[in-house]
Structure 1
């Protein structure tokens, strides 16, 4: 027995010596976790003052100052609360268009793209990026634009399950990181971060590590930048199997995230995964709950989805660990007969509680399965449009071949007959019908929810429940991310002025102010 005791003691001393640095960072992280509410209170106070300044600029009716105040509000919210960041970014974008200032339009669109990227809305983010006329941006704002662009494409390449598209997204990420490198010769945070990410996605982890270390050593980083760099180093060391280093840097990243009140973060989740693999379940549980709280606060569905995969595993491991403890309690109860009844009663209660946890985890897995199924349904409809486009191209190719044959044989009457067969109006109507049908499958209660934004007398009544009218079709396109009036006009075969007229007329009929009306439309959920 003594021999076993001394062997156990030796192992514990060895483990303690090999993780002193980690223990120090762990204590610091625990300290900052206890201070989160105080730090966030300071952040909220800062935001409150910014919003007061914004209100003052509106009362002064100084629109240039109002734009600056709006962008400051967006900056304050950008990694803190998604809904507020998106709201003020949209307001800034609308004001930029009213001012007809190309620089401000490009700046607000660039920021909108970043915010949608943080939410995990990759398609919307990239669609917005592609409309930014970045030549009108200042040098600093252009750096931010390139940084958003390469991050968007690198992130999308990581999430894409298709190897072909993943490689294509990587190339686009390389394109924007290289533009930043070529245009700006002086060293900068954005430039080195682009090089680090470029190295990571191409598997050059040692090179990426060097860039991140250079960022730490050569630049005076703020807390948010520190979190980005140390989190990157944590991922690299985790991939290389250097677990202690990975934990050290991920803890530093988590501390920096707390100090900067950053809620859109991945460090705590990654830390929880490492501790789970090392069977340090309580630490894993502590950090995954922290990551979940941040994701809920920010409103990041992407982060919630990522957390939902590891949380049930940690809960289950925690459950198994506690089951082992219960067995130990049972043995003690046998040896100490006096306490056996009390221990048994407690074990029964704990067992019932664990069953409830297992049941909750099963429900969570079921919900995740439903989410994946919904995603698959959407992919099916997107695939339908690709198929439709392919069929249409084939039809045009057959038409071209037929006309060519008639020209060779000089059968001009037959050419006229062939031309009469094509009816562009009918083809466009068919496109509208297919769009309506697929949109209403994705948003089955869109018409009902849209009508709730109007008084009874102003509501839209359709003859065919499977078809939309022009009013609804415009806002259906807006709901799926087509915000540019020129694009909407092109799709619906109308003039841009007509689209503006429709949108203004509909918004003016609503029972909500214009800004709130647009948010209500975007809040209509898909299946």
Structure 2
């Protein structure tokens, strides 16, 4: 039982660790691709610095100052552009020779040798270094001298195909490495680098990780040193078969290279190869092209060889994938075209059916037109009534009463319209055209509706303005006071004044709402004005009651 718990617990820890690694890898991928998109920003910063150094060198006549500034420019170009770096280090050799300073000459040749080594030009590097008289070197340059030879013979031993030459180069490499190791301090970067390489070559990975961690503490993100240490740590994870961690440190190295505007880099190409093996063809293609552009810009023979081994395979796989996607898209387009054809046929059939239905509907056209005329009249009355109710909305209770009354009235109109429509349809179906004509000429329906309209109007208005009659009487002369038999109904004069109160001043509109002639409305208004105490301002005063 305890054994099973231990096994399940161990599996849970592994799954959690894998989940955390995956999240970290996704975050690094986003950061890396953001840096790739913005790589021009870092390169422009470097170009601006170089431009300033060139201006400083141009403005000085002192050869030693020119040498120092050129040395700074060389350092900027060293991992950015091989051709420019070589040009400036050769210029420094010329300046040192002009100054007749052997120390500066040897220093410049050593830097040129290291530049040639780093770009895979190992034989040229050894040839350049052979110009230096070791015995004439000061103590400060001996270490650089051994480093240059060590790296040069290491590259020759690794790249030569002749076994005898390889053995000779390996012996020379070991000799210079031992000489260098005997001279340098134990915890310097160069000593730790050599120690880590020895542990790595002997597959003593735990010790190699320990040394690499020491080195990692000595460098910062965005520097060439950080890029180099994290890349070498990825090699340790590769040997330890920890592919996720290997990719993490390759990404960290690549991010640092981009920030430092380092074009001579190996991490991006190695990362592309790993992604290709895992089947992430799109990213592998993106990364290998980025790496190729860097190598082409820098003019690195060493990087071109590495890329040449991987780029054709990745490019071919990407093209094959693109071809498959293109074929799949073509098939989808064909399928969609077939569906579109069926849809067009269906639309045509539906159109024919709709046409048949349209012919049937034309038989009811005459009755519908009469119904339409009546409906327009009712719509006009309803719109005026709606506008009237909208203007009367002042408080919540009034609004509720208004909405309820309006909806009830509108519902009744709809019901009556439906009854009228059914009656018209009944007459049409029974071919009773005489009865239908009689129905359309009758004014009884309109009169009944007008009576209902007036009743609803009176009720709604008096609900909103319950003191309207008293307010009006205060504006009239005593002998012309209005007295209603039924306090819930307005007479014609009060309805006209109610509409004026609601802002409807135009006699034509009032006549249309109350269904009187314009002259009749005018006569009513003239008579009421004569009864007012203040004839000139009577109607304006009504609006404010």
TM-score of the aligned structures, taking structure 2 as reference length: 0.55
User: In the alignment, what sits opposite 1:259?
Assistant: 259
- The answer on 1:36 being equivalent to 2:14 is no
Instruction: Out of 28-37 and 211-220, give the one that drifted further.
Output: 211-220
1:286-345 deviations in Å (ceiling 9; x for gaps): 11011011011111233223212211111111122233334544554565444799xxxx
SS at match of 2:59: helix
8 A contact 1:25–1:251 mirrored in 2: yes
Judged with a 3 Å threshold, the aligned counterparts in structure 2 of structure 1 residues 140 and 283 are, in CA distance, closer, same or farther, namely farther
In the other structure, the counterpart of 1:67 is 67
**Equivalents in 1 of 2:217, 2:170: separation in Å?**
28
Q: Distance in 1 between matches of 2:305 and 2:133?
A: 33
Query: Residue 150 of structure 1: CA displacement?
Result: 2.3
The structure with the larger Rg is: 2
| CA distance, structure 2, for counterparts of residue 274 and residue 237 of structure 1 | 13
Say yes or no: does 1:19 pair with 2:22.
yes
Tell me if structure 2 keeps the 8 A contact 1:333–1:339. no
CA–CA distance in 2 between the matches of 1:129 and 1:203? 32
In structure 2, do the counterparts of structure 1 residues 213 and 14 end up closer, same or farther at CA, with 3 Å as the change threshold? closer
Query: Gaps spanning 5+ residues in structure 1: where?
Result: 1-11, 342-527
Aligned-partner Cα distance in 2 for 1:164–1:85? 34
Alpha-carbon distance in 2 for matches of 1:66, 1:240: 49
State the partner residue of 1:216: 216
The question of whether the paired residues in 2 share the 8 Å contact of 1:144 and 1:190 is answered with no
Structure 2 runs not aligned, ≥5 long:
1-14, 342-545
Going from structure 1 to structure 2, the CA distance change for 1:330 and 1:217 (only over 3 Å counts) comes to same
Larger mean CA deviation between 156-165 and 120-129 belongs to: 156-165
Alpha carbons of structure 1 residues 204 and 271: separation in structure 2 relative to 1, 3 Å: same
Shift in alpha-carbon separation, 1:149–1:340, aligned structure 2, 3 A: farther
Per-residue deviation at 1:241?
2.4
Q: How does 1:305-320 map to 2 (within 5 A)?
A: 305-320=305-320
Identify if the C-alpha distance between structure 1 residues 278 and 339 changes in structure 2 by more than 3 Å, giving closer, same or farther.
Answer: farther
Aligned pairs for 1:437-452 (under 5 A) are none
Moved over 6 A (4+): 12-16
Q: Does 1:235 align with 2:235?
A: yes
Question: In the alignment, what sits opposite 1:78?
Answer: 78
Q: Which residue of 2 aligns with 1:173?
A: 173
What's the C-alpha RMSD, in Å, of the aligned pairs? 2.8
* Structure 1 residue 267, shift from structure 2 partner: 0.8
Secondary structure, in 3 states, of the residue corresponding to 1:241?
Answer: coil
Cα 1:14–1:256 change in 2 (3 A) is closer
Partner residue, 1:116: 116
Please give the alpha-carbon distance, in whole angstroms, between the structure 1 residues aligned to 2:189 and 2:269. Answer: 25
Q: Distance in 1 between matches of 2:35 and 2:298?
A: 19
Contact 1:106 1:134 in 2 (8 A): no
User: Structure 2 residue aligned with 1:47, among 46, 50, 53?
Assistant: 50
* 1:386-401 paired onto structure 2 within 5 Å: none
Indicate how the Cα distance of structure 1 residues 221 and 298 shifts in structure 2: closer, same or farther if over 3 A, else same: same
Alpha carbons of structure 1 residues 153 and 200: separation in structure 2 relative to 1, 3 Å: farther
Residue 156 (structure 1) aligned with residue 156 (structure 2): yes
Query: Do the aligned partners of 1:250 and 1:271 also contact (CA within 8 Å) in 2?
Result: yes
Deviation at 1:223, TM superposition (A): 1.1
8 Å CA contact 1:212–1:233 kept in 2: the answer is: yes
Partner Cα separation in structure 2 for residue 154 and residue 248 of structure 1? 28
**CA deviation map 1:41-77 (0-9, x unaligned):** 00001111111122223xx2x2222221221121111
Q: Tell whether the 8 Å contact from 2:215 to 2:229 is kept in structure 1 after alignment.
A: yes
Counterpart secondary structure, 1:19: helix
Contact 1:231 1:267 in 2 (8 A): yes
C-alpha separation in 2, matches of 1:195 and 1:112: 25
Return the TM-score normalized by structure 1: 0.57
In 2, the alpha carbon distance for the partners of 1:128 and 1:340 equals 73
